Amino acid sequence: MAISIKSKEAIELMRQAGRAASAAREAAGAAVAVGVTTAEIDAVVRDTLKQYDAEPSFLNHHGYPAAVCVSINEEVIHGIPSKKRVIRAGDLVKIDVGARIHGYNGDTAMTVFAGEIPESVQKLVDVTRQSFFEGLQCCVPGKRISDISRAVQTYAEANGFSVVRAFTGHGIGTGLWEDPSVPNYVEKRGGSDYSNPRLVSGMTICIEPMLNMGTHSVKTLGDKWTVVTIDKKLSAHYEHTVLITNGEPELLTK
């Protein structure tokens, strides 16, 4: 495992990319409404990133065809925007955005909804968001990745939700996905293939809880991108790019 420790210059570029990604995330979230297509959300993201002189990190990444992932209801992540997919009242909409400036990336996600949702679904959204901040408390030098994972998992499961295991958070920098992997659960496996590095100042990671109302099991649809819950129950997603410092962690996509 080769974990990249960022220079001051690299961190400043990641701040710029993070600002662009967060602006696009907020603009996309504000555009979510009944009757809007997910393709229109993609257009909002592209336009916002242009205003920041940023490129969409996701576009053409391993062949992904859009600038944003828009995943609805039981779709967990990687939903492809479409002119045919219309947001309906009560839909739970996950917005996941990446921005790149001078080769450095920022990555962020949130869950919003159209119209009104039941209290139980609002709890899913709130717990997913808060589970991120539970993990963030562990983002100090000397702690391990597993400390973040345990904090996310403990809070999520204490509130009655399951944690997706098939996909994780990750390191980020010039690569959209870099080492280390940042699971949202504690891996219970040993041997030389298990890595649990300590956090050090200059590391940049993405913590991204993905919580489900039912089972943690997921599958990928025939489009080879969209990931859905096996039981078709709702899922929520929340993510920021985090810089480890000698003091408090910095949210580069705040």
Tokens linked to 38: 């997910």
**With 60 as the cut, is the pLDDT of residue 173 above it?**
yes
The pLDDT value recorded for residue 53 is 98
Residue 127 CB partners (closer than 8 Å, separation 6+): 155, 156, 159, 161, 211, 236
The pLDDT value recorded for residue 1 is 58
Chain centroid to Cα 18, Å, comes to 13
Query: Looking at the DSSP assignment, which residues form a beta bridge with residue 49?
Result: none
Query: Could you report the per-residue pLDDT of 229-242, keeping only the tens digit for each?
Result: 999 999 999 999 99
Backbone angles phi, psi at 72, to 5 degrees: -115, 135
As a whole number, mean pLDDT of residues 136-142 equals: 98
Residue 252 CB partners (closer than 8 Å, separation 6+): 14, 15, 17, 18, 106, 204, 240, 241, 242, 243
* Angle CA 59–63–69, to nearest 5: 50
Query: Could you report the per-residue pLDDT of 151-161, keeping only the tens digit for each?
Result: 999 999 999 99
Q: Is 207 in contact with 150 (CB distance < 8 Å)?
A: no
What SS3 class is residue 51?
helix
As a whole number, mean pLDDT of residues 170-199 equals: 83
Q: Give the other-Cβ count within 10 Å of 51's Cβ.
A: 11
As a whole number, mean pLDDT of residues 65-70 equals: 98
**With 90 as the cut, is the pLDDT of residue 192 above it?**
no
SS3 string, 21-49, reads HHHHHHHHHHHCCCCCEHHHHHHHHHHHH
| pTM above threshold 0.85 | yes
If phi > 0 it is left, if psi is from -120 to 50 it is alpha, else beta; for residue 181 that is beta
Q: Is 79 in contact with 94 (CB distance < 8 Å)?
A: yes
pLDDT averaged over every residue in the chain: 96
Which pLDDT band, with edges at 50, 70 and 90, does 166 fall under?
A: very high
The pLDDT value recorded for residue 187 is 75
- Rg of the chain over Cα atoms, rounded to whole angstroms, equals 17
Q: Is 211 in contact with 161 (CB distance < 8 Å)?
A: yes
The pLDDT value recorded for residue 75 is 98
The pLDDT value recorded for residue 118 is 98
Percent of the chain with pLDDT over 70: 97
**DSSP annotation of 249:** -
As a whole number, mean pLDDT of residues 89-106 equals: 98
**With 90 as the cut, is the pLDDT of residue 174 above it?**
yes
In whole angstroms, what is the distance from residue 47 CA to residue 67 CA?
10
Percent of the chain with pLDDT over 90: 96
Query: Looking at the DSSP assignment, which residues form a beta bridge with residue 96?
Result: 69, 109
In whole angstroms, what is the distance from residue 125 CA to residue 110 CA?
9
